[in-house]
Each structure stands twice: as structure tokens, then as C-alpha cells.
Structure 1
């Protein structure tokens, strides 16, 4: 399936969303190719509970890209990425970012390998592994997890991957006061930034945490 097999309204929604977020219109074609592939595979392999392509634009693509201004060039491990969210949209939008897509589910890992191949994403690789079992300690400038766990849980399973001075970028809904209070000793919140996602109701925050 190519992007041309998606309803025309899907491309319109994405292009409006990119414009609202100040992102380049040139990102739309590869994002639509990724979305078309995800939609096709999802009909067989149930990779995401979101099945409507229009809803996927908002809840997957634009939601993932909302954190793009806060991501720096370098290395990033996306933990429990599922079908590649937010890692693949970030790899598309940030060519200076080297993304490792960490996912233990075999069918999701297979999908991502195919997406990376078809999109020719030279700055993305798939690690079919649980985050805590990934034997790459201190190799990443940044780690992220969009819907994986509590902040404490993310640190517990993925904190070993961060280099000294690296940061955890965690996508959350409402301001996670209780999760912040439960962070392990030595882990500190640098900032909590509200994010605006076009078409998405409810709160979104990006929590930036530095390691010990």
C-alpha cells in the first residue's frame, strides 16, 4: 500500500497538523508511506488499537512529532516502541538523530524492519529485545518511552542505556506529580513542558529527566 491508497482527507489532516506545529511540509510523504504500511499491516497483525487512518495521524504521527523540538541530534533509544512510535516519525523528522527502536514483540519488530527498509531510514535500527535486556550500557544520549510505564519503571528497565549526562524524554498525559515523586534516588526532573498536538483533546506533557 502506498500513501495514495489512504483517503485524501488523511493527507490534508497531516499537512495541516505539520503546518500548525511549524514542521516542514516535506515530511508529509514519508510519514504517509509509514502510515499506509502501518494501516495495511494492522489489518492482519493488530499492531495498534487505533485502526482509523485519520485518527492515526493525530494520535500516532502528530503526537509523536510534538516532542521533536526537544530532541537533540545524537543517539536515542525508543523503549517499548510498539510499531515504531515515536521513534520512526522522529527518525523521519530528525536526520541527525540515530534511533534504536527497542521492542520485544516479534510481529511489531518485523513490521518495523520492513518500514525501515521501505522508507530507507538509514538513521534507524530495530533491536528485538526487552529494554532491560538490551546490552548497550551507556550508549545513548537520550531514551524515550511514549506509553511504556511509570517514570520509575522506565528508569528501572532502561536507565542503564543512558550515557553520563544523558536524558530521559518521557511522554505523559497530565502532569505526573506522583510519578516524579517516586523517581529513584539520583534521578532529577529538568523540566516538564506542556505539548500542543493538533486535533488531540486532553493534556500532553514531556518530562525531561537527568540521570545520576
Structure 2
């Protein structure tokens, strides 16, 4: 949920404010510019059937099960499969959660983080919580940003999720807004979830690494 809506006529100013506080040639700036560029994709369609199909395919390419059902019928992720009757960015966000979660929690309801906003069996999902609040907050932020970067890769309007998930919150205080963005970009990189250019690793790379580790 977007905490503070940013009107369309203010958005260029907000983006420029964040951009000005990212170092030239930095990883964070490269990531930001790719996200900001997707503003041009918004008029071409938002949450289209093609966008949703691409989200389902991304999950399947990573070896994640998919179920053509509403998350409210059970869980967003049941320990094996994502329920896919959601908006495209929600599907991609769940894939990002799978990537961020350590392997031992990929078999847990909603990744052991507690019920997500789409899950219907809330009490059951919350009984499966396996992490502390700090980990919940960190993984949610990392999954948000990684999902946005996958939207960029899939040529989807990632800027909308960037706004909805509050990455421009507090843009009027740009140092804090930029610091939050920079720290999470760098953490994604340190954890091996994006490459040196700030792009997420493709399924064949990730699944290959998983097979090799096994």
C-alpha cells in the first residue's frame, strides 16, 4: 500500500530529487535509471494478460509450482506453488520472495514470514512464522526491490510497483530516501541476488547454482 500518493505532475520532481542523491556511475544509479525508464511503458498497458503470463512463466522457469487459483482460497505460496490469480507485479513479487528466502524456508507456507496480504488462511500462515520481525522487514524490502527489477527485465511498468511499495516515500528528504534505496540495492548485490550491473540473475543461472549446491 502506497503511504503517500505522488501526483503525476509531481513525479518527475520526485524522481529527479532521488536521482540527484545517487552517485554517478554507482550501482544504485544504474538500477534507478532502469526503473525510472519504465514510466514510458505505463501508457502501453498495466497488468495485462501478457504481463500476468510472463509472471507465471518466470515462476515456472525457476522451478516454482503454480496453481491457477486465488490466493484468498489458501495462501499466496503454499510451500511449493504460487497461486497465480493476482496482479502481474504480485506474481513477480512472490517469485522474488522465493529467490530471497534461504532454501530451508522455500518449503514453508508464505516462506515462513507470516501471511501476506493476499493469503486467505491467515491464522495458519502466521502459525508458520519462522523468523523475527527484523528478518520479516528486511526480506520484504529485498523482495520488493528484486521483484521490481524483474519487472524491468520483463519490460513491464516497474515504476508503478516502485511507487506502490514506497521506494519514493519521503522524497522531499532525499538523503534519507536515497540512503534507503542505496542500502537495499547494495544488499541485493552482496547477497548474490543481482549482478554487478544491478540485473537479477536469470533462471538458468540460479537453478543451475541450486542444482550444483545440492
TM-score by length of 2: 0.28
RCO comparison, higher one (Cα < 8 Å, 6+) = 2
Tell me which protein shows more strand as a share of its residues.
1
TM-score by length of 1: 0.28
